[in-house]
Amino acid sequence: MSLQTATAAPAEELNPFKIAQQQFEIAANYLDLDDSMRQVLKNAKRQLVVSIPVKMDGGQVCVFEGYRVQHNVARGPAKGGIRFHPGVTLDEVKALASWMTWKCATVGIPYGGGKGGVVCDPKSMSKGELERLTRRYAFEIAPIIGPDRDIPAPDVYTDEQTMAWIMDTISMVRGHTELGVVTGKPIALGGSQGRGEATARGCLYAVREACRVRGITLRDARVAIHGFGNAGANFARLVSSEDGARVVAIADSRAGVYNEHGIGVQAALRHKAETGTVAGLHNAEPIPRDEVLEVECDLLCPAALENSITLANVERVRARIIAELANGPVTPAADRVLFDRGVFLLPDILANAGGVTVSYYEWVQDQYSYFWTEDRVRDTLEQTMRTAFADVYAAAERFRTDMRAGAYVVAVSRVAEATSVRGIFP
Ligand code: GLU
């Protein structure tokens, strides 16, 4: 690192698990939690590391490393997605698992937190290789997952096909069809209406509340979206088609595009489906992908990976509201800068909780073999998100703090209460 970069970007903690623990401590201090409770809630209950041998198309065998972490199960079975990405680490999965604990508690669904990950580059693998990787990973984590133990779901670079393979593998191992072992499944396999867009739709409901308390109207509001996967792309579609917002900037993992008058979202979705990227989109100018975080806008949605907004770029962020569609995109140090500047930030454990909330509805439907209409899913999700926003906003007001600390206060107090009434075994 050159001296210049070293001075330009002050040192800050970037390890996601350490960050998750810092976020927890802020709430623990507000709640005056004793040290024993802090120790219990800060650490992951169970961490499984597996080696996954996969026959590649060329005939050779590659061994991948995979993880499944269960952070806390005080309020119900562990719940959380599985990520396939070359940058996955055990500490990242531990952070993501703990964020799931707080997320499920924030929206009041009866789960703890879990997460899984495999270190691999799915973009360079064939469908056959991915299927074999997924099935062997599912087999390796089979002893600790199940509808009443730990329920995986999609996350970065996994989707409903991945979930179908896991459900089938676990069903083969157990000897009967086990619908509720994963959520985010295809509709044909006990998936739920509305699960595909649920993360984005839940975020839209939270953003509407944020706009209401901030006196901002979403019609024609300028929106920048950093990350154009399931969450970011669906959010662009919903916020423009349902609320008439103007999506001015989009970035995916390869490129950024900008048009101050508004990017045609349908055209962007088609272009992405056809070419795999937003690069080269007509009627939009190319910009470096990380500049999408810095365009002047009313609403910024970091929808990619952790640590997108740090001390290195937070001074250049020019949004009025930030809604974290990704997990962990803003560091604690950047949080403080944004709060001091009056930016309203909807934290991940609230803003992107719509995904796991509809996962919960899917799991309930699977248990009853009775399936809901899309309208019922949407209405119930809206109720859940509005209630969660109100709870978090009230906690933030009460402690005169930001919405992240407000959400952690709500979540940590719920998990701490469950832990203390259960007691410590034995
Ligand atoms: N991976 C998503 C998340 O981070 C969804 C988890 C789930 O549906 O269990 O919230």
Q: Over the stretch 15-47, which tens digit does the pLDDT of each residue have?
A: 999 999 999 999 999 999 999 999 999 999 999
- For the CA of 358, the closest atom of ligand 1 is 8
Token pair listed for 327: 């997990």
Average pLDDT for residues 306-333, to the nearest whole number? 98
Q: 80-89 burial, b for 16+ CB within 10 Å, e for fewer? A: bbbbbbeebb
Residue 359 Cα, ligand 1 centroid: separation in angstroms?
8
- Helices and strands per DSSP (H, E), number in the chain: 14, 12
Cis amide linkage into residue 143, ω under 30° from 0: no
CATH 3.40.50.720 domain residues, the chain: 198-351
83 three-class SS: strand
CA angle centred on 352, ends 350 and 356, rounded to 5°: 100
Token pair listed for 88: 């996955």
Average pLDDT for residues 304-320, to the nearest whole number? 98
Q: Chain-wide mean pLDDT for the chain? A: 97
Identify the residue whose C-alpha is closest to ligand 1 atom 7.
356
Phi-psi region of 264 (alpha: psi -120 to 50; beta: other; left: phi over 0): beta
- Given a cut of 80, is residue 220 above it in pLDDT? yes
pLDDT tens-digit series, residues 105-143: 999 999 999 999 999 999 999 999 999 999 999 999 999
Tell me the one-letter amino acid at 172: M
DSSP characters over 223-235: EEEE--SHHHHHH
Q: 81 CB under 6 A from ligand 1?
A: yes
Token pair listed for 34: 């004793």
Identify the residue whose C-alpha is closest to ligand 1 atom 10.
356
- For the CA of 352, the closest atom of ligand 1 is 10
- For the CA of 195, the closest atom of ligand 1 is 8
- For the CA of 184, the closest atom of ligand 1 is 8
- Given a cut of 50, is residue 260 above it in pLDDT? yes
Spatial separation of the C-alpha atoms in residues 113 and 9, rounded to whole Å: 33
pLDDT tens-digit series, residues 228-259: 999 999 999 999 999 999 999 999 999 999 99
Give every CB contact of residue 227 below 8 A, 6+ residues apart in sequence: 251, 252, 253, 301, 302, 303, 304, 305, 325, 326
Which CATH architecture fits 198-351?
3-Layer(aba) Sandwich (3.40)
Number of Cβ within a 10 Å radius of residue 147: 17
The four Cα atoms 157, 160, 162, 163 give a dihedral, to 10 degrees, of: 130
CATH 3.40.50.10860 domain residues, the chain: 44-187
Q: 116 CB under 6 A from ligand 1?
A: no
pLDDT at residue 3, rounded to an integer: 44
Residue 154 Cα, ligand 1 centroid: separation in angstroms?
6
Question: Given 3.20.20.540, 3.40.50.80, 3.40.50.10860, 3.40.50.300, which CATH number is that of 44-187?
Answer: 3.40.50.10860
Q: Choose one of 71, 85, 100 to mutate for the ligand 1 pocket test, by most ligand atoms within 8 angstroms of C-beta.
A: 100
Strand blocks (E) in 334-426: 344-346
- Given a cut of 70, is residue 6 above it in pLDDT? no
The yes-or-no answer on residue 127 being catalytic is no
Which of 79, 115, 185, 272 is an active site residue?
A: 115
Residue 53 Cα, ligand 1 centroid: separation in angstroms?
26
Spatial separation of the C-alpha atoms in residues 205 and 149, rounded to whole Å: 30
Cβ 330 vs Cβ 309: under 8 Å: yes
Average pLDDT for residues 299-308, to the nearest whole number? 98
- Given a cut of 60, is residue 67 above it in pLDDT? yes
Tell me the one-letter amino acid at 113: G
pLDDT band of 8, cuts 50, 70, 90: low
Q: 183 CB under 6 A from ligand 1?
A: yes
How much of the chain, in percent, has pLDDT values that exceed 70? 98
- For the CA of 111, the closest atom of ligand 1 is 9
pLDDT band of 10, cuts 50, 70, 90: low
Spatial separation of the C-alpha atoms in residues 68 and 63, rounded to whole Å: 17
Residue 200 Cα, ligand 1 centroid: separation in angstroms?
12
Helix ranges restricted to H, 75-126:
90-106
pTM, two decimals, is 0.97
Number of Cβ within a 10 Å radius of residue 53: 12
pLDDT at residue 129, rounded to an integer: 98
Give every CB contact of residue 242 below 8 A, 6+ residues apart in sequence: 204
pLDDT tens-digit series, residues 358-369: 999 999 999 999
Q: Using the 8-state DSSP alphabet, how is residue 146 labeled?
A: B
pLDDT at residue 1, rounded to an integer: 37
pLDDT at residue 9, rounded to an integer: 58
Average pLDDT for residues 210-218, to the nearest whole number? 97
Residue 119 Cα, ligand 1 centroid: separation in angstroms?
18
- For the CA of 82, the closest atom of ligand 1 is 1
Q: 153 CB under 6 A from ligand 1?
A: yes
pLDDT tens-digit series, residues 370-414: 999 999 999 999 999 999 999 999 999 999 999 999 999 999 999
Tell me the one-letter amino acid at 157: Y
Q: Choose one of 106, 199, 324, 362 to mutate for the ligand 1 pocket test, by most ligand atoms within 8 angstroms of C-beta.
A: 199
DSSP characters over 150-173: EEEEE-TT--HHHHHHHHHHHHHH
pLDDT at residue 321, rounded to an integer: 98
Residue (of 197, 200, 194) closest to 235 by Cα position: 200
Q: 359 CB under 6 A from ligand 1?
A: yes
Residue (of 357, 338, 307) closest to 109 by Cα position: 357
CA distances for 249 relative to 46, 245, 260, 399, angstroms: 40, 12, 8, 35
CA angle centred on 146, ends 142 and 150, rounded to 5°: 95
Q: 356 CB under 6 A from ligand 1?
A: yes
Cβ 260 vs Cβ 221: under 8 Å: no
The four Cα atoms 379, 381, 386, 387 give a dihedral, to 10 degrees, of: 110
pLDDT at residue 4, rounded to an integer: 45
Cβ 326 vs Cβ 306: under 8 Å: yes
Pairing of strands 61-72, 46-55: antiparallel
Residue (of 237, 160, 242) closest to 200 by Cα position: 237
DSSP characters over 45-65: SEEEEEEEEEE-TTS-EEEEE
Residue 374 Cα, ligand 1 centroid: separation in angstroms?
19
Residue 327 Cα, ligand 1 centroid: separation in angstroms?
10
